Amino acid sequence: MIEARRLHILRAVADHRTVTAAAAALYLTPSAVSQQLTALEQETGHRLVERGAKGVRLTPAGEILLGHTNAVLAQLERAEAELAAYGSGEAGTVTVAAFATGIAQVVAPAVARLAGTAPGIRIRVQDAEGDASLPMVLDRQVDVAVAVEYRGAPSADDPRLTHVPLYAEPFDAVVPVGHRLADSPEVPLAELAKDPWIGPYPGNPCHDVVVLACESAGFQPRLEHSSDDFRAVVALASADAGVALVPRSALRGMDLSDVVVRPVDGVAPTRRVFAAVRRGAEGHPLIRPVLAALGGAAGG
C-alpha cells in the first residue's frame, strides 16, 4: 500500500526539481528524501524519478502517480477539514504568508475582523513575496498565501491549490518633479522608452508586471536600479535616478513631495491579488473564516 507521506515527498521533488531543495522545504535530510522515494518505487513497482546533471525529473510512471497524488492529497485535506469541523474546530492557529502591502491591505484588517467574529482563531503572519508564498503553502510551511499573479505562477485551476480572488489594483507612473511628462494628466508608457528605470528584482511578481507593460508598449525597460522596497524606488525617483511603475496601494503614506504620480495612459498595468490554500483545505473550520475575513477586507 502506498503511504501518503511518500506521495507528499514525490510532489515536493516534482515542484522543487532537486532532492536537496525538496528536503530543505520539508525539513528533512536529502538522504531521507531519497530513501522515501526508493521505498515509494518499491511500493509501486515502477521507477518514478530520474536523476541528471540539472536535477531530478519524473518518469512517465512518476507523472501518472503525480496526477493521482494531487487528488489524494486534496482529499486528505478535505478529510482533515471534516474531522476538524466534527470536533468543532473553533480554536487554533492559522499561518498566513503575504507580501508587505498585502499585509497592510487585507491581512491586518482580516486579523481585526477575526478578533470579533472568531476570537478562538489566532493568526500568525509571515512576510513573503508573492512568488515565495505559494511554495510555502504547498510545502505545508504555512496554511494560507496572499499572492500575486505572475508569469509561471500556478494557474487558478491548478489541482494542488484553491484560489480565492481578493482584489486588483493599477500601477501608477512615478517620475521626478522635473521630468518632461510631469505636467501630463496621464503618462503614455511608450514615452518612457528611453528613460532609466527603477524597479523590483527579477523573480518579484511586480517585476513581471512592469516588464510586460513596457513590452506591450513596444520596448524593454532599461532597469538601472533595483529594489523590492517601493519606498526605496520612490526615493530614487525623487533623486532623479529614473522612472518607475508602482502599485497604487504601495504609495499610500509615502512622502511624494519630490515625485509626480500619474495614472498610465490607456490600459493600466495591474496586479491581481488572491488567497491560496491547499486544495481541499478551503473547508477547514479554521481556514474558512480566514478566507472569508480576507475577502471581506478586500471588499469581496
Contacts of 219 (CB under 8 A, 6+ apart): 190, 193
**Highest CATH level, class, for 4-83:** mainly alpha
pLDDT tier at 276, thresholds 50, 70, 90: very high
Picking from 142, 131, 156, the residue whose alpha carbon sits closest to that of residue 25 is 142
Fold matches, 4-83 and 168-271: no
pLDDT in tens, 81-105: 777 765 666 678 899 999 988 999 9
Q: Tell me the pLDDT tens digit for each residue of 153-169.
A: 788 888 999 999 999 99
Question: pLDDT for 8-36, tens place per residue?
Answer: 888 888 888 888 888 888 888 988 888 88
Across the range 192-200, mean pLDDT stands at 96
Which fold would CATH assign to domain 90-166+272-299?
D-Maltodextrin-Binding Protein; domain 2 (3.40.190)
Q: Tell me what the pLDDT averaged over the chain comes to.
A: 90
| pTM metric for this prediction | 0.71
b or e along 165-180 (b: 16 or more beta carbons within 10 Å of the residue's beta carbon)? ebbebebbbbbbeebe
Contact 96, 125 (CB under 8 A): yes
What percentage of the chain reaches a pLDDT higher than 70? 97
Cell of 155: 494557474
Mean pLDDT of 236-259: 94
Tell me the three cell numbers of residue 124. 500568525
**R_g (Cα) of the chain, nearest Å:** 22
AA identity, residue 113? R
Instruction: Name which of 215, 270, 207, 269 is nearest 233 in CA terms.
Output: 207
Residue closest to 63 by CA, chosen among 82, 44, 89: 44
Query: Could you tell me the CATH superfamily of domain 168-271?
Result: Periplasmic binding protein-like II (3.40.190.10)
Cα 56 from Cα 123, distance rounded (Å): 36
Q: Does residue 217 register a pLDDT over 90? A: yes
Domain spans, the chain? 4-83, 90-166+272-299, 168-271
